[in-house]
């Protein structure tokens, strides 16, 4: 953890000033000293930004990523993913116990691949929804909503397109396309 007053902590606290209570959440922000380009938020209000993300992006893009992570919490993605994983697990177990061809399929590598594909698909949709949430998060705070798109472009320029069928994240071009098309959420004024 970056110590209070360190360059990383000071920068993050400057970026999130006034966002201790955002969108009905009581939030606390800290920096993990870790070179990976990552951030996350948890339902208890914990928001953690890795130092690698701070090194990779300017302030407006870091704020966009934070908005994205807060979006996961507000949209209850962790809860919904856990619920769908439990339901998927139960469905595969029931099919396997039925025996025959279905049972053989679910116990094979193909069954595991299908399991991973189902859960990755849910996660990709969550990522796209959190991106849109971040745009509204920025807009409602009179910040540049295009910073979310630029943060994805920064990731793409530095680390490639990413994503794909079995990935938990959609490809960067897919994420940008998602942000460019109009949606009811983008016009609702609710964040």
Active site residues: 69
Cα separation, 127 vs 61, in Å, equals 16
- Please return the burial class of 150, using the count of CB atoms within 10 Å of its CB with bins 0-12, 13-18 and 19+: middle
**Which single residue is written with the structure tokens 């705070």?**
141
Q: What are the Cα distances from residue 90, in Å, to 11, 85, 101?
A: 45, 8, 18
27: nearest Cα among 57, 79, 72: 72
């Amino acid at each position: 953890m970056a110590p209070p007053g360190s360059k990383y902590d000071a920068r993050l606290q400057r970026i999130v000033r006034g966002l201790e209570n955002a969108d009905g959440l009581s939030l606390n922000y800290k920096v993990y000293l870790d070179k990976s380009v990552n951030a996350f938020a948890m339902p208890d209000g914990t928001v953690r930004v890795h130092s690698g993300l701070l090194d990779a992006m300017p302030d407006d893009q870091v704020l966009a990523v934070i908005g994205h992570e807060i979006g996961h919490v507000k949209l209850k993605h962790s809860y919904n993913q856990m619920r769908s994983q439990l339901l998927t697990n139960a469905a595969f177990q029931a099919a396997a116990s039925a025996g025959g061809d279905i049972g053989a399929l679910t116990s094979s590598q193909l069954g595991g691949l299908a399991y991973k594909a189902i859960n990755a698909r849910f996660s990709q949709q969550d990522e796209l929804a959190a991106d849109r949430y971040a745009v509204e998060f920025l807009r409602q705070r009179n910040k540049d909503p295009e910073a979310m798109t630029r943060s994805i472009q920064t990731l793409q320029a530095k680390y490639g397109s990413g994503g794909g069928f079995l990935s938990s994240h959609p490809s960067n071009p897919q994420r940008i396309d998602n942000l460019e098309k109009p949606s009811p959420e983008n016009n609702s004024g609710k964040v």
